[in-house]
Amino acid sequence: MPKEISGDLKLYAESFEHAREPFPPDSLVSRDGVARVIETMPAFDVVPGGMKFEPESVYDNRFVLKTLGR
C-alpha cells in the first residue's frame, strides 16, 4: 500500500483488522445481514419509497459454497 494512500502504515493495518471483524471467516453472506442493509436503504434514498424485495433476491452464496467444497 503506497504511503500516500495509507498514511501511517501501523494505523492503517490496525484499522483494516478492525474493519474485517463484521465479515464471517467463511465469507458466506447471511440473510439477516442482507435484511438489515435492505432496511437501511430507504433512509439514504437508495431505493424508491415503498419498494419491497426479499433478501434472497439480492445475494447468492452458491459460488462461496462451491469454493468451500460444500
Per-residue pLDDT of the chain (70 residues; tens, 9 = 90+): 566 766 788 888 888 888 887 788 898 999 998 999 888 888 888 887 788 889 999 899 999 999 999 8
Q: Whose CA is closest to 47, among 56, 55, 38?
A: 38
Q: Kindly report the pTM of this predicted structure.
A: 0.62
The answer to the question of residue 66 being in a domain is yes
How many domains, in total, are found in the chain?
Answer: 1
6 burial class (0-12, 13-18, 19+ CB within 10 angstroms)? middle
The answer to the question of residue 9 being in a domain is no
**CB count in 10 Å sphere of residue 35:** 12
Q: What is the domain range of residue 29?
A: 24-70
